[in-house]
Amino acid sequence: MALHYFGLMLINGINYRTVWMQDTSVYLINQLLLPHKFEIYKSKDYLDTANSIKTMIVRGAPAIGATGAFGLAQAALMFEGENFDNFKQFINEAYHQINSARPTANDLKFGLDFVKSRMFAENSIANSKMKAFELAKQYADWNAELCRKIGEHGNSLIKDGHSVLTHCNAGALACVDYGTALSPIRMAHYSRKNIFVYADETRPRNQGASLTAWELAQEKISHAIIADNAAGYFMKKGRIDMVIVGADRIAMNGDVANKIGTYEKAVLAKENNVPFYVAAPLSTFDVNANSGEDIPIEERHEEEVLYIHGIDENNEMKKIRIASFESNAKNPAFDVTPARYITGIITEKGVIKPKSEDIEKFVG
């Protein structure tokens, strides 16, 4: 097993990153097992890495982007042959296989493009392989730095004594390090601000209950898990001062695609005069999406709704059906929040108003 790649995320008193690469293997914190078991998953080739993205061993747009970049580097390193044209064709095929693993997150394509557009060096396969590995590592480091800056800008919005609502997981697990929505919360905590976090459970995969709450517990940040349907109750009671969520893709008009249920939280926040912020790097903006209508929405398997996973009283992992066997389910994984419900988008360059003219100043 490779030594862990040092990052900021604290796990059992040790700092980790979500994903890293050593030799020709990619190492990932296995999010399917959290919060009950912490385990590093070793992906031995790019096909395994693509499957890790598809099966949600790794999840969260920035983390997926970095994993895709490492996967393409894996493909380059595993190529056997001496013909440069065959090498380029092999990379193109690997690119499309990895990119097809998850359709909604824009960062996956961004990470793949970052490596592919720069890796071919002087018609040399050996140099191109080395370049691909260097670029993938550079992308991961860059991604972590973006999230750190998001935390700095977002921290300025959080006041001492604030309570913040989150939805899904947009912590370090969803990125390479720091997180997007959790990065400002981490920075506020490190600044010794007295804050409290309400973590939506986020059905059907429960990323809020399983991942966000686990990260907060590791950092000893005060928090409580709430049912998805309870957010409006706490907003109306004046218990929530602001909402910060992540994003999987942002259109050029400011519409945001994020985990299913985000739209509902934004409408509730608007009704209750609670500021609603989206935290995401500029790489999450899709220059080819004029509005949310242009964003593809992934529909996942109905089993995610019909079953739930957890541990029993004997500490054994179990899969339990919670619906009748005569029932089917619909399972859109994301929804689109119109820009009019969003107070601002926290990026590495600062807080952007969700308007086309403001976004175009930042996004090239």
User: Catalytic: which of 107, 177, 228, 248?
Assistant: 248
How many CB atoms sit inside 10 A of residue 91's CB?
21
42, part of any domain: yes
Backbone angles phi, psi at 320, to 5 degrees: -120, 130
pTM over 0.75: yes
Q: pLDDT tens string for the chain (364 positions)?
A: 455 556 678 788 888 999 999 999 999 999 999 999 999 999 999 999 999 999 999 998 899 999 999 999 999 999 999 999 999 999 999 999 999 998 877 889 999 999 999 999 888 999 999 999 999 999 999 999 999 999 999 999 999 999 999 999 999 999 999 999 999 999 999 999 999 999 999 999 999 999 999 999 999 999 999 999 999 999 999 999 999 999 999 999 999 999 999 999 999 999 999 999 999 999 899 999 999 999 999 999 999 999 998 888 888 889 999 999 999 999 999 999 999 999 999 999 999 999 999 999 999 6
CA-CA distance, 19 to 64, in Å (whole number)? 9
Q: What is residue 1's predicted lDDT score, i.e. its pLDDT?
A: 44
CA-CA distance, 217 to 85, in Å (whole number)? 50
- 92 shares a domain with 19: yes
Amino acid identity of residue 336, one-letter, is V
239, part of any domain: yes
Domain termination site, one of 102, 117, 148: 148
CA-CA distance, 70 to 189, in Å (whole number)? 31
CA-CA distance, 224 to 84, in Å (whole number)? 55
Pairing of strands 196-200, 163-166: parallel
Q: What is residue 276's predicted lDDT score, i.e. its pLDDT?
A: 98
CA-CA distance, 183 to 250, in Å (whole number)? 19
> What are the structure tokens assigned to 302, written together?
């109905």
- 135 shares a domain with 18: yes
Domain termination site, one of 119, 148, 177: 148
141 catalytically annotated: no
> What are the structure tokens assigned to 331, written together?
């399972």
Integer CA distances (angstroms), 25 to 74, 185, 268, in order: 7, 32, 44
- 271 shares a domain with 137: no
CATH code: domain of residue 262: 3.40.50.10470
CATH code: domain of residue 81: 1.20.120.420
Q: Are 359 and 288 in contact (CB under 8 A)?
A: no
> What are the structure tokens assigned to 362, written together?
């930042």
Backbone angles phi, psi at 200, to 5 degrees: -55, 140
Pairing of strands 276-279, 242-245: parallel
- 253 shares a domain with 175: yes
How many CB atoms sit inside 10 A of residue 79's CB?
18
Inter-helix orientation angle 125-155/182-190, to 10°: 60
Domain termination site, one of 148, 174, 200: 148
Q: Are 235 and 343 in contact (CB under 8 A)?
A: no
The domain of 225 spans 157-362
- 119 shares a domain with 59: yes
CA-CA distance, 241 to 140, in Å (whole number)? 33
If one counts the domains in the chain, the total is: 2
- 180 shares a domain with 78: no
